[in-house]
Structure 1
């Protein structure tokens, strides 16, 4: 503590940061590590493992097909109205936090807080609230989703860490999936790990870092790519999924939080001068250990040390926290995503409450939320076996395409009946009944 205080005092007197991350001089690949110059003088360390494949197997199955049809309307009072219009299952599972579902697959939520919102009481009030929509988005697409095996040469896994981390936090995942034959790519964000750390705050805005990730993605992308993000890294995954919708096959969000735009906090401790933050760095590291892990023992301390987590300069940390401005990344932005997404949440996470990941699962068209009771914010380090199993099962998952049905047969045999109502919407059932002249459909 005394040493940190003296270093901070020296920082104040010299107006320079004493903890500056610099890249390794060589740019040659060694032990799977590469150094990529994304811009002049801006160098990122990347761990790239391309396993030896004795037999390359191409995908044999056709996979499943999922229709994504929804209409998203945003009103001037902040109300978000989602109408799922598809005749397939995924879009019809959307619910609000009140736990209610609708056979019409219509979700009506408030952009500020879904759990505290109340549905309209009467028709006049509903019409009044929806009179002047501010924005309307219509999504109509069909995705073919197949299993991604490590032996497929057209599959690449991208791992993106969050604030204060490094690519080393993915050590267990990188080793596990590379042994299974997957090509894995994990970069260090600027100022983190062994990447270069420019001494200018503009180098750490969301857009600057997102541009870095675009260049890394374009360099290593295959035909089918899976994005895995943690915390702040989830925002870069959703950004890439919007930029390259045809190339992103699946996505994993680990403790990423809700679908809200990123905005720096005005009352944050990170608004303090850099030298003050440097003096407080031991306290910040201790706070991160307490909040980031369910248990705070010698094992967790060793994990932080070995994985180079929360080991960035005070200047970089302050610039990162004050540069999280992404107004486009709101709920509508996330609701437009059609990529299948797995959300993993550590129950003891003190940074991101589980309600935020539940909210994200509600907004996304096709999302699966898995909660690990023994994990916290750094769940991939605390529970590597459980996380690796969840990810691998998700990579191999493919939807089951329902077989064709005889619509001229008895109504009881239609997919809307017999406990399989989610295979077609109420509007579709009503239309079929109308065509056959059997009267109006009754819910």
Structure 2
């Protein structure tokens, strides 16, 4: 810590940054690593694993089709109304069927002006029971009407690819357990280092680390490695890039996983933040920031967790890159409406001890998304994929193999019973041979024909 303080002091005196803004020194790269130049002079390290497995071109399961019909209305007072039009119908009190009531969601800080009704008191009139509501003029209305075919993605399918995107201060090494697990199962996995992280190049201008610049990098990486069915797995800040890709390529994104990603709010850098301090000051405080990240990112702070940070190259970025990343998180489009428009099935994984992202934010995300499944792990925190790799891998694998149940087609009732059909056959034979029929048999035939007419009359009714 004393060395960092001295280097930061020299930085302030000389007005030069002593931070390393180049790629982190790494050992000899093994197979599966590639360097992709997304822009001139902007090179990202990508780990791309294509395992040897028996290839099955088409999925073995039939899958299921999900109807995505939604009406999203935004009012000028800040209220957001989401009506799921494709949901099953409920029966009303008068026996008629009516659609489900629209889901009402309010943004934090807005007043409940006529949004909810209080229980009427006994003896009040109808006009008193139904107070007048102020009708707000809709500011924006979004209609979603599409169908998505969702099937199980197995490792033997050649048209499936898994993309892993890390957050601020991480690297592709934090996904080590997940990459090994899914590559052994036969999945093709792709995970990049964000600019300034891991072994990717680190430009010396702050504009290179804005959300839009990083999102463009992820878009180019996705276009390079995308298959027919792609599954995105993001962590923390990386969840925002997954959401961006789901909007850009809705037909190619099959499923999505958000790990401690936070709520569906637009990104905006905080004005009162420690990351707004000068770079040299942040460099002096780098040991304190690393300790704070260990304290808040892990449920336990022992030698094992410290070794995980060191081995997985987590929170090992320069102060310049860290400051530029935090101040460049400006994404006003990523609000609640933006997330509500997503029709991709989403798995939300949250660590109970996460001090960066409260569980209320992931619960909010589950309410906004069309198809979302929230799973909370009690033994994990923000870096849950490193703390509980087996539990996370199991959840991811089950979600990747999940497919909606296809409802069985309704059975068509036969118009005639087997006995009636048999009786009709005997009656036809007896009528065709009148000479061989005795009078008693004829009377039985007339009685049988009478019983055969009754089921037909009931069926018509």
1:69 counterpart residue number: 69
C-alpha distance in 1, partners of 2:412/2:271? 59
Asked whether the equivalents of residues 88 and 99 of structure 2 are also in contact (C-alpha less than 8 Å), the reply is: no
Asked whether 1:120 is paired with 2:116, we answer yes
Matched residues in 2 for 1:117 and 1:272: separation? 41
Match of 1:376 in 2: 381
Residues 8 and 24 (structure 1 numbering): CA distance in 2 closer, same or farther, change over 3 Å? closer
Instruction: Give the whole-Å Cα distance in 2 for the aligned partners of 1:21 and 1:177.
Output: 32
Give CA deviations for 1:337-360 in whole Å, capped at 9, x if unaligned.
Answer: 000000000000000000000000
Equivalences for residues 98-117 of structure 1 within 5 A: 104-112=100-108
1:438 corresponds in structure 2 to none
Shift of 1:22: 2.5
What SS does the corresponding residue of 1:317 show, helix, strand or coil?
Answer: helix
Q: Structure 1 residues 278, 118: CA separation in 2 closer, same or farther (over 3 Å shift)?
A: farther
Q: Which residue of 1 aligns with 2:158?
A: 153
Question: How far is the alpha carbon of 1:54 from its aligned partner?
Answer: 3.6
Higher relative contact order (CA 8 A, sep 6+): 1
1:88 offset after TM fit, Å? Answer: 5.0
**Contact 2:87–2:100, Cα closer than 8 Å, also in 1:** no
Matched residue SS, 2:117: coil
Separation in 2 of the partners of 1:125 and 1:395?
49
Structure 1 residue corresponding to 2:400, chosen from 391, 395, 403: 395
How has the CA–CA distance of structure 1 residues 408 and 58 changed in structure 2, closer, same or farther, with 3 Å as cutoff?
closer
1:293 aligns with 2:292: no
Residue of structure 1 in register with 2:326 after alignment:
321
CA apart distance, 1:29: 7.8
Unaligned runs of 5+ residues in structure 1 are 93-101, 410-443
For residue 52 of structure 2, what is the aligned residue in structure 1? 52
TM-score of the superposed pair, with normalisation by structure 2: 0.82
**Cα distance, 1:112 vs. partner?**
2.2
Shift of 1:231: 0.2
Q: Distance in 2 between matches of 1:408 and 1:111?
A: 51
The verdict on how the C-alpha distance between 1:31 and 1:381 changes in structure 2, with shifts beyond 3 A counting, is same
**What does residue 355 of structure 1 align with?**
360
CA positional deviation for 1:121? 2.3
Which of 1 and 2 has greater Rg?
A: 2
Judge conservation of contact 1:45–1:187 (CA < 8 Å) in 2: yes
**Pair 1:31 & 2:31 matched:** yes
CA distance, structure 1, for counterparts of residue 360 and residue 308 of structure 2: 27
Spell out, residue by residue over 1:139-167, the C-alpha distance to the aligned partner (whole angstroms, 9 max, x if none).
Answer: 01110000000110000000000001011
Deviation, structure 1 residue 115: 12
2:315 equivalent in structure 1: 310
Please list every run of 5 or more consecutive structure 2 residues that lacks an aligned counterpart in the other structure. 91-97, 119-129, 415-461
How far did 1:53 drift? 1.9
Residues in 2 aligned to 1:115 and 1:399: alpha-carbon distance in whole angstroms: 38
The CA distance in 1 between the partners of 2:109 and 2:198, in whole Å, is 36
Kept in 2: contact 1:47–1:185 (CA 8 A): yes
How many correspondences in the alignment? 395
Alpha-carbon offset, residue 20 of structure 1: 1.9
Q: Deviations over 1:24-69 (max 9, x none)?
A: 899x984211111000111101011111124435312220111011
In the TM superposition, residue 173 of structure 1 has moved relative to its aligned partner by 0.3
Contact 1:259/1:330 (8 A) holds in 2: yes
TM-score (ref. length: structure 1) = 0.85
Report the Cα offset of residue 270 of structure 1.
0.5
Question: What is the aligned partner in structure 2 of residue 83 from structure 1?
Answer: 83
Q: Which residue of 2 aligns with 1:425?
A: none
